Amino acid sequence: MTLTLWLTFLVAAVVIAVSPGSGAVLSMSHGLSYGVKKTTGTIIGLQAGLILLLLIAGAGVGSLLLASEVAFNIVKTVGALYLIYLGWNQWRAKVTIPPDVRAPVATPTHVPSWRKRFLLGFFTNATNPKGVIFMVAVLPQFIVQSAPLLPQLLILALTMCTIDVIVMHAYALAASAMQRFFHDAHAVKKQNRFFGGLLMAIGAGLFFVKRNPAA
């Protein structure tokens, strides 16, 4: 892989990471609800999902998935329903006001464990059909056929995940900085419904994703 080719992928990775999507919404939601530190578990899960998609595309499984209408529709439906499920849970999440008056910001009644936050992030990206389409359509453009495949996949994965970790933490940090504006349970409930509604909208939008974007 040449330096020029890697730099081109770097730019593409930045653009894709910055573009709002389910991962960004989840990072902002958790950043606002739990703070940046606890959102790290979610973001690591998002990267695990990205790596899985990259390996699928690199192994050629992604091409087979796109070639099979039944298989693609199964992945698409699972991904859409999963995001709608996350959004619904976020929408109806209960909040309480901490008894300590020195902590004026309302907080969720229960912060999910690190494992649960990781899995939420993982399945959000792993079941995203748009991610499959991107990996299968774009990734091969940065693979040099005459060079060993594994080292190239490792370089691309490291680049992509590094950029995404930085961007997702930036989203979480920006959302976390807004915590001071949520001084009561009613305000927190509104933000839960806002992010929950976004996740459900993104999930509903996945039902309209086609195997061949050009079709």
- Give 60-74 pLDDT, tens digit per residue: 655 666 667 777 777
Closest CA to 202 of 20, 26, 22, 74: 22
Could you give the CA distance from residue 160 to residue 146 in angstroms, rounded to a whole number?
Answer: 22
Helix 114-126 with 69-91: angle, nearest 10 deg:
140
Mean pLDDT of the 114-138 span: 82
Q: Is the pTM of this model over 0.75?
A: no
Stated length of the chain: 215
Give the lowest-confidence range in 57-66, 128-137, 193-202.
Answer: 57-66
Q: Is the pLDDT of residue 6 over 80?
A: yes
Closest CA to 57 of 122, 2, 151, 134: 134
Instruction: Give ∠ CA 15-211-58 in degrees, rounded to 5.
Output: 60
By the 8 A CB rule, do 105 and 183 touch? yes
Could you give the CA distance from residue 153 to residue 9 in angstroms, rounded to a whole number?
Answer: 12
Per-residue model confidence as pLDDT tens digits over 200-212: 887 787 677 676 5
What lies within 8 Å, CB to CB, of 155 at 6+ separation is: 1, 6
Mean pLDDT of the 131-146 span: 72
* Averaged pLDDT of the chain: 77
Closest CA to 185 of 123, 66, 93, 51: 93
Could you give the CA distance from residue 9 to residue 186 in angstroms, rounded to a whole number?
Answer: 44
Mean pLDDT of the 104-124 span: 77
Q: In sequence order, what DSSP letters do the residues of 24-61 get, joined into one string?
A: HHHHHHHHHHH-HHHHHHHHHHHHHHHHHHHHHHHTTH
By the 8 A CB rule, do 91 and 196 touch? yes
At 55 the pLDDT is 82
Give the phi and the psi of residue 4 in degrees, each rounded to 5.
-60, -45
Closest CA to 79 of 43, 119, 129, 44: 129
By the 8 A CB rule, do 19 and 196 touch? no
Mean pLDDT of the 180-203 span: 70
Could you give the CA distance from residue 182 to residue 191 in angstroms, rounded to a whole number?
Answer: 9
Domain range summary for the chain, segments of one domain joined by + = 24-206
What number of CA atoms fall less than 13 Å from residue 113's CA on the CB side?
3
